[in-house]
Amino acid sequence: MSTLVYSHPACLAHEPGPGHPESPQRLVAVLKALQAPAFEALQWREAPLGTREQVLHVHTEDYVDQVESLAPQSGYQLLDAGDTVMSPGTLEAVMRCVGAACAAVDAVAAGEARNAFCATRPCGHHAETDRAMGFCVYNQAAIAALHARAAHGWRRIAVIDFDVHHGNGTQHSFWRDPDLFYGSSHQSPFYPGTGARHEIGVAHNIVNVPLRPGSGSESFRAGMQQELLPALRKFAPELIIISAGFDAHALDPLGGLNFQDEDFHWITRELMAQAQESAHGRVVSVLEGGYSLDGLASGTAAHVRALMSP
């Protein structure tokens, strides 16, 4: 069974502005890394446009209307008090992100591949139901989870997030539903300030593994093995979605953790093993952060190599 990659040139046309860390060059680096001979067996697919109905699984109608009406014809439009910016290319880019994640779910549901990686940007995990935040407009990982439920009848869906930042948006959307699981390792204290251990959702369906600045492989793997993975096993997801951020990489200029490429490979294999147990191997991974072009490229390569291995 093969691994699919979804991407689209429109994801390069989202321009948050000069000097912004979430630059189109990030996706260029990822696509280039996946052109290496080791990735010849990947099956590439063009990301379709997501639908309004898919977006509304997570976001409010008012918020979607606001995003659509603010989308600029030229120049830039700030979406939040911080650094989430829309350019003329942003609306299509975020709809390709949503479309990629949902199409990837459909493809693994149909048995067209065991797993899939969405090489798309911008990231999504900070976006809450009714607000943009932290470079994120729509939360494609959370949307894909609810799409999986609506379209394929699974109940128990897990999103696992190893981005250096806590995915406050996904946690916010999953908090009240005992059949949705959100597990995250992230630097703490750090942006966005959420993700404490005591944040556990309505039914221990949220598992947060905060890591002190400077933490590396050992703390990451210990936290995963002792806390997150046992809880995930107990939850027995029917689909695992990965919020795959690579800003915990030692090379990353924003993150203060010290993950190595092998750590991304390791956690991917662990999640695949769990998917084998409870989800017929089904894994959909979506790109989140990662701001060192080298760290992003090598981390993504290690992650996708793991997805492709038997």
Contacts with Zn ion, residue ranges (CB under 5 A):
163, 165, 245, 247, 289
147 is catalytic: no
Q: Does the N-terminal peptide bond of residue 122 adopt cis geometry, omega within 30 degrees of 0?
A: yes
- First vs last Cα of the chain: how many Å apart? 8
Q: Which residue is nearest to Zn ion (CB)?
A: 289
Q: Quick one: 190 or 235, whose CB is closer to Zn ion?
A: 190
Residues 6 or more apart from 296 whose CB is under 8 A from it? 26, 29, 30, 246, 247, 249, 290
Residue of 8, 59, 126, 303 marked catalytic: 126
What is the C-alpha to C-alpha distance for residues 44 and 253, in angstroms, rounded to an integer?
Answer: 30
What is the C-alpha to C-alpha distance for residues 290 and 156, in angstroms, rounded to an integer?
Answer: 28
Write down the least CB distance from residue 134 to Zn ion, Å. 7
Question: Residue 285 is inside which H or E element, if any?
Answer: strand 283-287
Residues 6 or more apart from 116 whose CB is under 8 A from it? 3, 4, 5, 6, 104, 107, 108, 283, 284, 285
Joined tokens for residue 4:
């699919």
Residues 6 or more apart from 46 whose CB is under 8 A from it? 6, 7, 8
Closest CA to 21 of 181, 173, 178, 164: 164
Write down the least CB distance from residue 245 to Zn ion, Å. 4
What is the C-alpha to C-alpha distance for residues 277 and 15, in angstroms, rounded to an integer?
Answer: 41
Write down the least CB distance from residue 297 to Zn ion, Å. 16
Write down the least CB distance from residue 164 to Zn ion, Å. 5
Q: Quick one: 92 or 163, whose CB is closer to Zn ion?
A: 163
Q: Quick one: 169 or 201, whose CB is closer to Zn ion?
A: 169
Write down the least CB distance from residue 106 to Zn ion, Å. 27
Q: Quick one: 22 or 270, whose CB is closer to Zn ion?
A: 22
Closest CA to 96 of 46, 136, 60, 159: 46
Residue 35: CA count within 13 A, CB half-sphere: 6
Q: Quick one: 4 or 160, whose CB is closer to Zn ion?
A: 160
Write down the least CB distance from residue 56 to Zn ion, Å. 25
Q: Quick one: 213 or 230, whose CB is closer to Zn ion?
A: 213
Strand 43-46 with 3-7, pairing = parallel
Catalytic positions are 126
